[in-house]
Structure 1
Amino acid sequence: MTMTVLETSDIHGHIVPISYADHSAIESGLAKLAAVIRKERANTEHVLLIDNGDLIQGTPLAYHHAKLDAKVPNPMIRVLNELGYDAAIIGNHEFNYGLPLLEKAVGESNFPWLSANIVRESDGEPLFGRPYVIKELGGVKVGILGLTTRYIPNWEKAEHIAGLRFEGAVDSAKRWVPYMREQEGVDVVIVSYHGGFERSLDTGEPTEPLTGENEGYALCQEVAGIDLLLTGHQHRTIAGVQVCGVPVVQPGSAGGWLGKATIKLTSGSEGGWHVEEITTELLTPAGVAPDPVVLSMTEPHERLAQKWLDQPIGRLVGDMRVTDPMQVRLAEHPLIEFINRVQMELSGARISNTALFDNVSPGFPEHITMRDIVSNYIYPNTLQVIRVKGSDIRAALEQTACYFDTYTGEGDIRVSAEFGEPKPQHYNYDMWEGIRYKLNISRPAGQRVVELEFDGAPLDPDGEYDVVMNNYRAAGGGNYMMFQGKPVVKDIPTDIAELLASYIMERGTIEATLNRNWQVVWDGKSELSEAE
C-alpha cells in the first residue's frame, strides 16, 4: 500500500502567476501548482492534500478581497475547495485582517481548519473545535494534527486574537499524538505545523533565539509517534531530510513549490498497518501551464483587484525609484525618508523607523498608483507610537547593524547569516528618521553605533522618547525585544498602505527629499560620497 501526501504552505494569496508590480509572468502561484496537484492525483490512487497555513494574506488580490470585496466568497478558499483539500492549518498571517474575516474563510471551506494549540480562553477548546482530522485511504487510518507557531501574540494586534490562548506546539503534540494513536487507532500520524526549525537540521545547534516561534526540531526530538512532519512559516525549501528519524518537508512560499511525501505501508499480521518507508521531495511548477479552471474562477476577483491597483493617486516630483536595494540600506533614500516622514506627521512622534521589506520593492515613479503603494508596502501593518528610553534606541540600532557581515573594505558588502538564513529578513533592517546616527560595519556586532544624536546633542540613554513604528516591530517582532512591553502612547489602527495612499491623494503632489540623517560607514571610508 502506497499513499501520497501533498503540501502547500505560505501561499500568501498568490494564485495567478504574475508579478503585481509590473504584470510580468512568474513561475509560481497556486494556479500553476493546481496543474501539478491534478497530475499527482491522476497518477496516484491514495492522495492527501494539506495546506500548512498563511493562505489568505499577502498579495493585492488578498488585500482587495479583505478590505474592499469581503462580502463575496474568498478567492483563495474557492481554489482550495476546487482542488479538494483535505485540511488546512491556521497560520499566523490568517489573523492579519481580524477574526471575522478568518471565520468567514473557515465557514466557506469544504475542509477543516486545524490548530490544536490555539485554544479559546473561555473553555480551553481548540479554535474552530478541530485539533486533528482522521482520513481513511484504502483501509489505512491517517491522523492529521494541526499546530501553529505560538509566537503570534508577539506580532498580531490584540483585538485580532482577543479571547485566544497560544500554547506550545510541543506540549500540544505530546497530548494529541498519543491520543490519536491510542484512542483513535490511527495507523499513520502526520503533524502539519505552521512553524519552522529552531536548530540546524545537520548539527542540531540553535540557529535562532529559542523563543518558541519555531519548534520543528523539538517536535521531532521530543514527541514520539510522529511519522511525517510538514512545516512552513520560514519559507524554506526542505525535503529529503530526516530530523531525529522523522521525515520533514517545507515547500517554500508563494506557490513556488509543492511538497510531496510518499508513504509505503505494510499490513501487520495482527491487523493494522505499519509505515515501512517515507520519501520526500519538492515538485516545481516551473514550465507548467496554469490550471484553466483556477484561472477562470479567480478572474473576476483578479480583474477588480487590477483595476483598483491602477487607480492614479498622485504625482511625484523627484526620484524615489529603487535601483539598488543594498544602497538604500547603506545611506538614506528618498523613499525611506518619505515613509518615515509620513509616519511622523500622522502620529505626532518626532522619531520614526521603517524598512525596505524586500529586494524587489520598485520605489515610486512620477505618476503614483495604488499598485506602487502595495508593491512597496507589502504588509498589512498599522502604526503605533511607543515610549522608549535612549538606551532602547541604541540597542535597536545595534540589532539593525547586525544585518551586515563585518566589512573590511574589500569586496562586496554582504548580508549576515542572521538576516539571510533560513530565509531573507530584509524587513528586519530598520532605517530611522528624527535622530542622526552612523553605523560602522567594520566593528564587531554590538559595537557598531558610533554616532547617535537627537536635537543636536548625544541621545540620553535614560531619556524617554516617543517613536512611531509598525505594530509588528512595536511588539518586538524581528528580535527587537527592547521594544516589547513598552507603553503605547498612540495606536493608529489603519493599514499603513492606506495611510500612505491617503496622504498622497490629499496633497496631489509629493516631493522627494533627502536630509541624510544617517549612513553606514566602514574603516578606511569615513563618509559615503554624494553619489552614493
Structure 2
Amino acid sequence: MNKHINVAILQTSDIHGAIYPLHYGDNTAAEAGIAKISTLIKQERAKSNNVIVIDNGDLIQGTPLTYHYAKYMRQEKNPLSLILNHIGYDGAVLGNHEFNYGMNVLHTAVTESQIPYLSANILHKSTMNPYFGTPYIIQTIEAGVRIAILGVTTHYIPNWENPDHIEELVFEDALSSTKKWVQYIREHENPDVLIVSYHGGFERDLETGEPTEILTGENQGYAMCFEVEGIDILLTGHQHRSIVNQKVNGVTVLQPGSNGRSLGKVHIALMYDDNQWLIQDCYSELLSVEGIEADEAVLALAAVYEDKTQHWLDQPIGTIEGNMLVEDPMQIRIQDNALIEFINKVQMHTAGVDISNTALFDNASPGFKHNITMRDIVSNYIYPNTLKVIRITGQDIKDALEQSAQYFMLDNNGAITVNPSFTEPKPQHYNYDMWEGIVYTLNISKPIGERVVSLQYEGQPIHLEQEFDVVMNNYRAGGGGNYMMYQNKPVIKDIPMDMSELITSYILERGTIQATVNHNWKVITD
C-alpha cells in the first residue's frame, strides 16, 4: 500500500450567482465567475484523482441573472444547480443569501442538485432534525482514506431574512452545533481527516485574538478553532475575505473571497503509520481566475438564462430630469443628494409613511442616467430587499444615526474619511444610512456616540420618547449591520415586493422623474 497520499480540497464560497465573467452594469469583462472556476477545477482534477470540491454557500443569489430567474423563469431548472451538477461538486453548504428568493426557489435548487446539501444546524421546526438532509458526508478516496465534511451555516439569518422565507426553520447556534457534530463524527465515523465547511467568518483577528466586530454570534470561526476539538480544516466564507495559508490554534483555515474571483485549495499530505493515516502537512492557497478561460460548457448551460436576462436589462423604464449620477461616493454620504432622496421617496410612497432611511450599497453604484433601463435599476439596488415599517422612538432614531455616524473618522489633516471598521475585513458601505423625513446634522469632530448635534421632525426637536413609523429594508429592520435598536420593534407594515420592482413601478407610473434635493441632512466637521 502507498504510505503517502496527497489530497486536494477545493472550495468556492460567496459565488453570488456569478456565472459569466462580466459586469452587468455595462457588460464589460470581469475576472470572476464560476465558468472560470470550472476551468481551474478541471485543471486540478487533471493532476490528481484525490480531489474533493465543496461550495460553502451564498451560491444562488446575487446577479441580475439569478434575480431574473427567480422572478420570471422559476419553472425552469435553477442554473446554478445545473452548473454544480455539471462540474461535479461533492457537496454544498447553505449560505444566508440562499433564502432571499424564498423557500420555493431554494427547494428547487436543492432538489435539482445531484450533490448533497450539508446543513447541520438548520433544523425543521417540528422535528428538530436537519431540514435539508445530511449534516455531513464521508468521502472515501485512494487506499480507503476517509474524509469527513461537516456543513454549518451562520445562525444569525433570522436577524436579516424575511420571516415568511424561514418560518419552518430553526437555526441552532453554529458553534454549539459544530461541537456536537464534530464529536459525533469523531466517535462514530473515525475519519482520517475532518473538515468543517462553515458559511460564516472570523469574529477576531487571527493572530491577536482581538475582536474585529461586535460579538453577535454572526461569525464564530475563531471560536470554532479554539473551542471545538477535532477539526483539521475550517473552510469559511460570508465575509468575502481572502484568507490563505494560515492556521488558527493548529487548524488550517481558508476563505476564498467572493464572486468566483479565486478558487480555494487545501493541500493535505497524509502518511500511513502505525495502522492509521496521519496528516503530515496541511496548507492552503488561492488560485486566481485572472487570465483563465471560461469553461464554454458552463456558459452554454446558462446561455438561455443569460440571453433572457440581457434582453430584460435593456428594457427602457423612464427618464431622469436632473443629476442622479454617482460621481463621488463619499460626497453622496456627506450631504443630501438626489439619488438617495429618490430611493427614500419610493420607500415612503410605497409604505405610506413620511420617514425613511436607505444606503448607497456599494461604491461601484453608478446612479441613474437620463434614460433609465432595468440594467440601471439592478446596478444601483443590488440586493433583493423588501420593506418593513417599524415603530421606533426618537431615542432609537438618534441611536441609529449615531451608529451610522461611526462610518466616518477624521484623518490627520482633519478631512473626513471612512472608518476602517467599515472597510476591513469586509467593505460594509451598505451599513451607513441616510434619512428622509427628518432634519439632522452629524458632526464628525465629536466623539463617537455624541455626533448627532441636531435632530428635528416637522420643524421641532425630536423628543426621545416620541414614537415614529419608519420604513426601511428588511435587513436593517431586523437589526442587520449592528442596528440593534431596531430588533423586536412592532412591525406596522410588511411590504413583500422587492425594492427593484418597487422602484421600477414608481418610474413606470410617472415616466419622468425630477431629481430633487431638499438638504434635510448634512455631515460637518466643526
Q: If the length of structure 1 is used for normalisation, what is the TM-score?
A: 0.97
Aligned to 1:11: 15
463, 466, 473: which one aligns with 1:463: 466
Secondary structure at the counterpart of residue 129 of structure 1 = coil
What's the CA shift for 1:97? 0.8
**Residue type at the aligned position of 1:222:** E
What is the CA–CA distance in structure 2 between the aligned matches of 1:465 and 1:179, rounded to whole Å?
A: 50
- Residue 228, structure 1, aligned to residue 226, structure 2: no
Change (3 A) 1:17 1:256: same
Match of 2:299 among 286, 295, 314: 295
1:253 matched to which residue of 2? 258
Q: Indicate the residue corresponding to 1:20 in structure 2.
A: 24
Q: Which residue of 2 aligns with 1:216?
A: 221
Structure 1 alignment gaps of length 5 or more: 524-532
Map 1:471-486; keep pairs closer than 5 Å.
471-486=474-489
Matched, 1:393 2:397: yes
Q: Which amino acid aligns with 1:262?
A: H
Counterpart CA distance in 1 for 2:358 and 2:258 is 24
User: What pairs with 1:81-100 in structure 2 (closer than 5 Å)?
Assistant: 81-100=85-104
Alpha carbons 1:132, 1:144 under 8 Å: kept: yes
Match in the other structure for 1:239: 244
For 2:75 and 2:215, how far apart are their aligned partners in 1? 41
Partner SS, residue 67 of structure 1 = helix
CA distances 1:222-265 after superposition (whole Å, capped 9, x unpaired) = 00110100000000000111111101000000111111000010
Deviation track 1:8-50 (CA, whole Å, cap 9, x = no partner) reads: 0000000101100001101111111111111111112200000
Please state how far the C-alpha of 1:417 moved relative to its aligned partner: 2.1
Tell me the alpha carbon deviations over residues 345-402 of structure 1, each in whole angstroms, 9 at most, x when there is no partner: 1111110000000010000011101110000000011111111000000000000000
Determine if the alignment matches structure 1 residue 514 to structure 2 residue 517. Answer: yes
CA distance in 1, matches of 2:196, 2:416: 40
Deviations 1:132-180 (A, max 9, x none): 0111011111110000000000000111001211111111111111221
What residue in structure 2 maps to residue 308 of structure 1? Answer: 312
> Alignment partner of 2:111: what SS?
helix
SS of 1:423's equivalent in the other structure is coil
Give the residue type in structure 2 aligned to 1:388. Answer: I
Equivalents in 2 of 1:269, 1:428: separation in Å? 54
- The equivalent residue for 1:406 is 410
* Native 8 Å contact 2:16 2:259 kept in 1: yes
Q: 2:122–2:132: 8 Å Cα contact kept in structure 1?
A: no
**Match 1:274 to one of 274, 278, 288:** 278
Alpha-carbon distance in 2 for matches of 1:415, 1:110: 45
1:374 alignment partner in structure 2: 378
Give the drift of 1:210. 1.2
State the AA in 1 paired with 2:93.
I
Match of 1:166 among 165, 171, 175: 171
Structure 1 position 407, deviation (Å) = 4.9
Give the total of aligned pairs: 521
- Cα distance in 1 for partners of 2:420, 2:376 equals 30
Distance 1:9 1:74 in 2: 18
Q: Which amino acid aligns with 2:156?
A: Y
Conserved 8 A contact 2:443-2:451: yes
The DSSP-based 3-state class of the residue aligned with 1:258 is strand
The Cα of 1:426 is off from its aligned counterpart by 0.4
The answer for unaligned runs of 5 or more in structure 2 is none
Q: Distance between the aligned counterparts of 1:251 and 1:333, measured in 2?
A: 36
Q: Does 1:449 align with 2:452?
A: yes
User: Partners of 2:524 and 2:219 in 1: how far apart?
Assistant: 34
Q: Distance in 1 between matches of 2:28 and 2:148?
A: 41
1:150-189 alignment to 2 at 5 Å? 150-189=155-194
Structure 1 residue identity aligned to 2:212 = T
2:341 counterpart residue number: 337
Quote how far apart the aligned CAs of 1:508 are. Answer: 1.0
Shift of 1:413: 2.7
Please state whether the residue corresponding to 2:297 is helix, strand or coil. helix
**Residues 404 and 441 in structure 1, CA contact (< 8 A), matched pair in contact too:** yes
C-alpha contact 2:443 2:525 (8 A) present in aligned 1: yes
Aligned pairs for 1:491-502 (under 5 A) are: 491-502=494-505
Q: Which amino acid aligns with 2:134?
A: R
Identity %: 59
Q: Which of 51, 57, 61 is equivalent to 1:47?
A: 51
CA distance in 2, matches of 1:458, 1:42: 69
Structure 2 partner of 1:528: none
**Worse-superposed segment, 296-305 or 147-156:** 296-305
Looking at structure 2, the residues matched to 15 and 516 of structure 1 have their Cα atoms a distance apart, in angstroms, of 41
Instruction: Measure how far apart 1:408 and its partner are.
Output: 6.3
Residue pair 1:121, 1:165 contacting (<8 A) in 2 also: yes
1:416 is the counterpart of 2:416: no
SS in 2 for 1:313: strand
Counterpart contact for 2:175–2:220, Cα < 8 Å: yes
Distance, in Å, in 2 between the alignment partners of 1:65 and 1:482 is: 35
CA RMSD of aligned residues (A): 0.9
- For 2:230 and 2:412, the matched residues in 1 are separated by 50
Given candidates 130, 134, 139, the residue that maps to 1:126 is 130
TM-score normalised by the chain length of structure 2: 0.98
Counterpart Cα distance in 2 of 1:55 and 1:383: 23
- Report the alpha carbon displacement of residue 185 of structure 1 after superposing the two structures with TM: 2.1
Residue 204 of structure 2 corresponds to 199
In structure 1, C-alpha distance between the alignment counterparts of 2:413 and 2:228, rounded to whole Å: 48
